[in-house]
Amino acid sequence: MDTFNEPYTRAGDDISLDQVRQQVRNLENQHHANGVTLSGRIIHVCHDLPYAPTLTPSTSPARAGVLSPPATPPVVPGDVPPSPSDTSAPSPPPVERSEQSRWKLAPRYGHAAMISGIRSLSETHEQLIVGWTGDIQSGIDEDKTIPSQSIDQADRDALEQELAVHVGTDGDEEEHKTTYVPVWMDDKIAHGHYDGYCKTILWPLFHYLLWQDVATEYASADTHYEHYEKANQAFASRIASILKPGDLVWVHDYHLLLVPRLLRATLGEKGGDAVIGLFVHTPFPSSEVFRCLPRRQELLDGMLGANLVCFQTYSYSRHFISTCVRVCGYETTPSREGGNGQKYVGIDVQGHVAAVSHCPVGIDADRVARDTLRPGIQPKLEAIRALYADKKIIVGRDKLDVVKGVLQKLRAFEKLLQDYPEWLGNVVLIQVTSPALSDSPKLERQVSELVAHINGEYGSLDFIPVHHYHQTLKKDEFYALLSVADLGVITPLRDGMNTTSMEFVIAQERTKQSPLVLSEFMGISQHMGDALQVNPWDLGDVAAAMNRGLVMPRSEKLSRHQKLHKVVTTHTSHTWAAVLVKMLLGQINGRNTARRTPFIPKEHLKASYDKAAKRLFLFDYDGTLTPIVKTPAMAVPSQDTLVALERISADPRNIVYIVSGRDQEFLETHLGHIKRLGMSAEHGGFMREPGVDTWENFTESIDMSWMEEVAEIFRYYTERTTGSHIEMKKSSITWHYRSSDPEWGQFQCRQCQDLLENNLAHKRPIEVLVGKKNLEVRPIAVNKGEIVKRIMYKNPDSEFVFCAGDDKTDEDMFRALHLFPSGSSPDTKAVMEPPLSVTLVEKNSAAEVELAITRDAVFTTAVGHSSKRTLASWHVTTPEEVVDHMLFLVGETSRSGSQCGEEDGEAKSSL
């Protein structure tokens, strides 16, 4: 990371909505001019649709006499019950149904800011909102639900038609269409996903609680993971069925963390072309908390399938990056500019780079301001004033959830009455708690007991200090309460975005401009620096902030309020949504949407192979013929790999080389028994021709006196980097930091690289290579590219070349095989001058040679993601697929099935 002192919002985002939209149009125009396909559609993927469907009994003749499906027993509701804050979202009217329709749609409350922001994009783009249907309510008994599996295809199609009719009823005029796409899931999967894994595992974890801290009985963290994965796959399949070239896909929140990766897998070879963003609305915990999760690797890999992963705050994005580095062993790319001029840090996952950034969510400030003018508010406001005419009013509204800090707030209010006795009889706390994600009778009892204790200790016949209401307030009551307050206190122990704090600011605009006490552990707190920020665990600090807010001079109140009001009305949900589009457009043609390398088809490879009279095979070893493993010494070839090499090399028309960074001893030990197999060790420093037992040393005529200077520098960094070590080879020297702290090791690596490049490399015939968890220095004349040139030069009559590799050192091989100038005709013959690897060893003069190879017979193949930045023309995803292609060429099939999978999180050395 470049700095730990990043602003809550980035430069360039603190502008008006119209300006952001103009930037979006400019980016789109640039992409169109560059030939990039953009459909003008944005697909938003949310956990559930913003409408709750009800299936009514059929009255049509076709269904006459057919009984309604049986209702299931009540289940724990999957949605958060409506809260005053949530009802600030648009409340569209129910749709008028056609005579034959059996569906009724009613607005589903919750996630108001997100839905408001998404809908605002309808002014500029066509919108598709993909979400679960939710429980299907029965039209006969509203307390009953209908099993989703009992709803036939005709009724499912009818719901889609009903949702299509719903377009344009959202209360705002739209220039573009919004389409709602339902996702159907079996009830067991749907509730195991949401009520199980999301609510009992992920929600607590993302708020710094482990599942056993909130569970009422023992529960394994893996109990509902299968449902979570199946639900995410259902979403991915539904998206794939509607996705068009040029669509932008935004996946929302922790319910759907696997969707980016699963969507790419579902799309197959087209998956690399999808432009996917993931926005996490909750906090993201530190790596030490997240690493407790058994399925941490799967979730992180799912998230990293996106082109852009976005969070509420910079600190959450930093936690995520640190988790990817520490838990998975992935490396970060330096800060770079996207197409929109913004800097992003990326996570490199086998060549696919996922950018990481942050963007704060706001509320629909204009709509909330209109809601505060509702005629029903003023009478309620005056009634509250009359009830507490001579008292200061402190207001709190929270869900009754352990992370919302209601108990701590009540204890802090008690501390206020203890430390500042002048407030006895002069201040009241009105605390409203609404039902939370999960019922907590224990917490509800604790709150009630504490309220009774405070009222008993500090109250009297004519004074009740705490008024607690566990209910969902109506909108008019809620805004009346916010407007009449002398102080707002919102102090959760951990929270992402909190809409109540921003609604408080807008509600106070027309009344008292009262101050606000906020927890510093809220994502929104960095956004609202002029609130009185406190540590909710420090009761004395909170009590002092309450007192300060109550006695604050009018001028200071007004100054703080004006600054907060500007923030809340500038960074709205509409601006947030537009910035997300801008950020995702900025990733197109960036590093993480590089040229997509096509998958190499077996039949095409086989056809070219069969036509050739002489064939050349060039393979890297680690990550190409064998999976990457934790300990390099354990990377032994599988039975399939050995069979493939033996069968291919046995054909006299084939010449096969292993071109590896491994030393001679390792290659001899594991592959030396294959007599017709040629080998190059230490990146081309040594070479053994096929059928020969002796090795040629290409470094004998090269100045190697630089090695001691480099070793001295490496020793300096080894002493200061616990877990690092130096590997001395005959032709190169490598500093490994795989076993050191990942972030410290990477920092030291960059410092060492800078020292070598600026103080040594320009004086000596060497080059510095950054590998995976290592830094290598080698002679300029020794690399895999030079060896490949030598092999091609010695075999000019080759008519087929298959070259495969997986890392940066293998790019030298691919570069050497770029034999034909771009734009040259298919009949152009390639001519090769004698390479350095020939002239250094053979003292006699060598002449240039004409190669028999044609352009379409060179198969340079990168192992990894299709978006990996590479000079190769083709790709395969795994080493197993390389071996599978080799076996296919000789008419064999895999004998052992799937080889050992790659051990995620471990980086290979420069081999």
Cβ atoms of residues 86 and 109 within 8 Å: yes
Angle in degrees, CA 643, 645, 651, rounded to 5: 105
3-state helix, strand, coil in the chain (%, to 5): 40, 20, 40
Cβ atoms of residues 540 and 511 within 8 Å: no
Cβ atoms of residues 73 and 157 within 8 Å: no
Cβ atoms of residues 686 and 661 within 8 Å: no
d(CA 479, CA 506): 10
Set 364, 371, 620, 622: catalytic member:
620
d(CA 612, CA 120): 60
SS3 (DSSP) at 400: coil
d(CA 600, CA 888): 13
Q: Are strands 516-519 and 532-534 parallel, antiparallel or unpaired?
A: parallel
DSSP assignment of 543-556 equals: HHHHHHHHH--HHH
Cβ atoms of residues 17 and 102 within 8 Å: no
DSSP assignment of 599-644 equals: BPPHHHHHHHHHH-SSEEEEE-SBTTTB---SSGGG-PPPHHHHHH
* First-to-final CA distance of the chain: 28
DSSP 598: P
DSSP assignment of 142-179 equals: TT-EE-GGGS-HHHHHHHHHHHHHTTT-SSS--SS-EE
Q: Taking the C-alpha atoms of 478, 479, 485 and 490 in order, what is their torsion angle to the nearest 10 degrees?
A: 60
Cβ atoms of residues 682 and 729 within 8 Å: yes
Phi and psi torsions of 438, nearest 5°? -140, 145
d(CA 135, CA 145): 6
- The number of angstroms, rounded, from the C-alpha of 364 to the middle of its chain's C-alpha atoms is 25
CA distances, 911 to each of 219, 624, 625, 654 (Å): 44, 10, 12, 24
Active-site residue flag, 253? no
Cβ atoms of residues 876 and 863 within 8 Å: yes
Closest CA to 323 of 344, 357, 299, 355: 299
Cβ atoms of residues 417 and 465 within 8 Å: yes
**Hey, what amino acid is at 857?**
A
| Cβ atoms < 10 Å from Cβ of 333 | 16
Beta bridge partner(s), residue 615 = 654, 800
DSSP assignment of 247-278 equals: -EEEEESGGGTTHHHHHHHHHGGGGGG-EEEE
What b/e readout covers 729-768, taking b as 16+ CB neighbours within 10 angstroms? bebbbbbbbbebbbeebbebbeebbeebeeebbeebebbb
d(CA 645, CA 274): 36
Angle in degrees, CA 314, 315, 319, rounded to 5: 120
- Burial (CB < 10 A; 0-12, 13-18, 19+), residue 696, is middle
d(CA 95, CA 93): 6
Q: Which residues are catalytic?
A: 620
